[in-house]
Amino acid sequence: MDRELRREAVVFSRYLVRAAPSEALIERYCAANRELFAHEAPSAADAAVLAFARDHAWAVAPLDAGHALLGPASLLRKKLLVMTAILETTPEYAARTEPRAVALPMLGLRLAAAGVAMAAGAAAGLALTLALRHGK
């Protein structure tokens, strides 16, 4: 179990801040998961999604997008939220999670690009999520 949690911590951190977490952050993630999720066994679908995400780091972004639409209360989303909270309260990564001032035209371009990327990611994530839920 700890091996899986440690792998999740690394994969999720790389997805969220594009950097591997320190050993202390990995331990915080594992401890938080033991505290928050020990009382509930993951569903077969959640277990399949998490296993796939641990083994295929490239899939975390589309899975996150797909679950945002299909299952916002999924275990994947809950665990990503835990890692986000850990990272954003760590001085080393706080600057990466804080909003930055941007000129209005640049903001418009970034929002348009983010919208296109989100739509593509959500489409891929929906397909991947449905395939994993149905064991295909």
Give the DSSP per-residue string, 20-50.
Answer: PPPHHHHHHHHHHHHHHHTTSPPPHHHHHHH
Give pLDDT, residue 134: 76
Note the pLDDT of residue 98.
Answer: 67
User: What's CA 1's distance to the chain center, in Å?
Assistant: 18
Q: 26: helix, coil or strand?
A: helix
- Return per-residue pLDDT of the chain as tens, 136 residues: 699 999 999 999 999 999 999 999 999 999 999 999 988 899 999 999 999 999 999 999 999 988 888 877 899 999 999 999 999 999 888 776 667 777 888 778 877 887 777 777 777 777 787 788 777 5
Q: Which two tokens stand for residue 47?
A: 């277990």
Q: What share of the chain is helix, strand, coil (3-state, %, to 5)?
A: 80, 0, 20
Q: What is the pLDDT of residue 29?
A: 98
What's the confidence (pLDDT) of residue 97? 64
Predicted confidence at residue 19, as pLDDT, reads 94
- Rounded to 5°, the CA angle 57-40-50 comes to 10
In DSSP notation, 1-24 reads -HHHHHHHHHHHHHHHHSSPPPHH
CA 121 and chain centroid, separation: 13
In the chain, the amino acid numbered 90 is: T
